[in-house]
Structure 1
Amino acid sequence: MLVLILAGCDAGNAPLSSQPLANGAILAAETNGRFTLVTSGNGPVQVWRQGDATPLYQWHQGEETDPVLLLTISPGGNAAATATSHTVAVWSLESGQNLGFYSLPQSLRALALANNGQALLLGYQNGTVEFVNLNTGRRLQYFGHENVINSLDLSANGRYALSASHDGMVHFWQTTDAALLASWQHSNSANLVKLDENGSYAFSADAQGNGEIHHLPGGELQAQLKVPARGQTFVSARLNAGQNLLATGGTSRRLDLWQLDSGTHLQQWQVGLHTQLRPASAMVYSVAFVSPDTLYSASSSGLAETWTITNSEQNDE
């Protein structure tokens, strides 16, 4: 069911629409604004198309006692990958069919997918990152990190990787030969990285709520962000270089919009709560730009919501 919310003077803060994706809290979600993947742990991964009243697909992956923990959608939006701690499955978002199933030798911590599902990037507990070209079978291992991999991203063409580890290191490298192109250090565990689709910027954040925007390919620091409230952290991000915007989702229901080149804070929202869940809070698992003036979010409360961008030029605080 899609719930439309008619907002008055608070139009900038209330969602345009809210769609329940689950009856309770969800373990993970990934959205590109058109498709949203949802997992509650055990059972199938549900794939929702924006506005539909029921899931478009339900994907089963191996033994259902082994929970799906990681979800990702390719930049072009036609493929997705789902993962347990020791298996990965690649799927077509156009047909819903499985495109491949892979067993992993080590415990998986992070996952990314290139356009058309042509390549996977896998981050492991032991600090290794593995690039796999699914068309040719070529595999490349990156050993630049010395600690647990927390987050990954992969360029649309599969040529460039961004990886972050528990010791705060962030590396930008190429998947042709594992050559390091840029690196930077957070003072705390680096828990989130994201590339923009044009390859111009990278966003990284640490466990203490500090975010940084770096210019690529050299890795120069462009701007620093800080979640205003103590104890809050960044959970998700989406860069839109064409509009000079960065959207971030965090803990404590935070959804924020920033100017990409300066880090100026532009707008803030609070995502909805599942009224039957306690404690009454939510993490924003994923956020996407769906039009020049619209954002889409998916949160741990099991809600997908649409938001209006009303201020993209100056700070509204």
Structure 2
Amino acid sequence: MRQFVGSICLILTLLALSGCFHSTREAQRWTLQPDGVTSFSLSRDGRFALIASTKQGILLWDLMHNRQLAELGDQDPDKNTVIASQISDNNRYAITATSQNFAVWDLAWGTSEGLWSISDGIIRDLDISNNGQKVLLGLSNGKALFVDLGTGRRLEFLAHKEKVNSVSLSPNGKFALSGGNDHNAYFWSTESGQILNEFPHEHRITRVELHRNGKYAFSADGDDSAIIWDLATGKPQSELRMFHRHSNFSSARFSDDGSKLVTGTPGRRVEYWDSETGSNIGRWLAEEQQNTRPPSAVVYDVAIDPTGRIISGTSAGIAQAWIAEN
């Protein structure tokens, strides 16, 4: 009997804890593509969504008014699958990529600025500056490739020894952050190629992110280390206090003032963090894609809207707004 009572108490405790691990305050939902998408990017303020699917190509949505703004079509004539995308910090431009080429879009006019091919590696991640002319690519051959499309200038950052998994570019295009399988994240100048800070990890790095004003950098590896770095000192500001072992981040974004960080994972989790302390201040589970087996969703992008709501966009083709209860 004593063992039975002990088991019941343990089950009740676990249930209570699981209830604490995830909030339930979904404020709004937008089902943009029920059959799922291969890429989903949000604007910094969470208003615009750029999605790509095999059925409809690339679409631009206004989430605030819940309407489709533009149908951009397929990225290339062969209708290759778009695997990554990013909207510029000022919402004006976007970049999308297949494994071998990338396109830049003027979102104000809904037109393509051009299509460029990559011949010496597979594109794994990308970013774009506010003027739509400076782009950063993370490649499978260990290169972080910076290109100024206006001048044709090309800089190959060669510090990484293995695949570059994640990149982030400052809005003005002057600074870059890259992380790869070699366990290192580098903060570097796109003008000189010089390394400004090095952030080592014990495992391969899966996600990096720059604060828009250069206050912080974020790097996370494929094990249990996710660190917010103070770029002024090059030292850790905080380490995320994670509940799940071996967390793997698929997206990350700082709030405008840098005081908060929101992240997404391949396993549906959307989480909200205090940058100063690394404390978790909100966590949610995104809606699953029902026509997959088993049902799942990758959180492709996250943002914070002007009212403080957390916005997530997933492979299920669904955007959701969450309210942090703090």
TM-score, normalised via structure 2 length: 0.87
Q: After superposing the two structures, state which structure 1 stretch, 172-181 or 256-265, moved more.
A: 256-265
Residue 80 of structure 2 is aligned with which of 43, 63, 66?
Answer: 66
Note if contact 2:41-2:301 (Cα within 8 Å) is conserved in structure 1. Answer: yes
Structure 1 Cα separation of the partners of residues 291 and 54 of structure 2: 19
Contact kept? 2:211, 2:258, Cα under 8 Å: no
Structure 1 residues 209 and 42, CA gap change in structure 2 (3 angstroms): farther
Cα deviation, 1:129-185, whole Å, max 9, x if unaligned, reads 121112222221211111111000000000000000112110000011101000111
Q: Structure 2 vs 1, CA of residues 189 and 158 (structure 1 numbering), >3 Å: closer, same or farther?
A: same
| Match in the other structure for 1:46 | 59
Cα distance per residue 1:28-70 (max 9 Å; x no partner): 2111212112123575122222142446323321134421111
1:119 and 2:134 correspond: yes
Deviates more, 1:256-265 or 1:38-47: 38-47
Cα distance in structure 1, aligned partners of 2:155 and 2:81: 27
Contact kept in structure 2, 1:209 and 1:234, CA below 8 Å: no
Q: Which residue of structure 2 aligns with residue 248 of structure 1?
A: 263
Identity %: 33
Distance 1:261 1:249, change over 3 A: same
Q: Which one has the largest radius of gyration?
A: 2
Q: Would you say 1:79 and 2:97 are equivalent positions?
A: no
**Partner residue in 1 for 2:297:** 282
Distance 2:74 2:273 in 1: 37
Normalized against structure 1, the TM-score is what? 0.89
Which secondary structure state, in structure 2, belongs to the residue aligned with residue 61 of structure 1? coil
> Which of residues 24, 30, 47 in structure 2 aligns to 1:34?
47
- CA deviation after TM superposition for structure 1 residue 275, in Å: 3.6
Structure 1: segments with no counterpart, 5+ residues: 1-11, 312-317
Q: Distance in 1 between matches of 2:38 and 2:222?
A: 19
- For residues 61 and 104 of structure 1, the distance between their equivalents in structure 2, rounded to whole angstroms, comes to 14
Tell me which residue corresponds to 2:35.
24
Higher helix share: 2
How far did 1:189 drift?
1.0
C-alpha distance in 1 between matches for 2:243 and 2:219:
17
Q: Distance in 1 between matches of 2:241 and 2:140?
A: 28
Does residue 152 of structure 2 align to residue 141 of structure 1?
no
Which whole-Å deviations, capped at 9, do the CAs of 1:232-253 have from their partners, x for residues lacking one? Answer: 4211111015261111111332
Q: 2:125–2:139: 8 Å Cα contact kept in structure 1?
A: yes
CA contact (8 A) 1:43 1:67 kept: no
Q: Distance in 2 between matches of 1:43 and 1:265?
A: 37
Q: CA RMSD in A?
A: 1.9
Structure 1 residues 91, 161: closer, same or farther in 2, change over 3 A?
Answer: same
Partner of 2:317: 302
Check the 8 A contact 1:256/1:268 in 2, yes or no.
yes
State which of 236, 243, 250 in structure 1 corresponds to 2:251.
Answer: 236
Contact map agreement 1:29 1:285 (CA 8 A) in 2: yes
Aligned-partner Cα distance in 2 for 1:202–1:173: 12
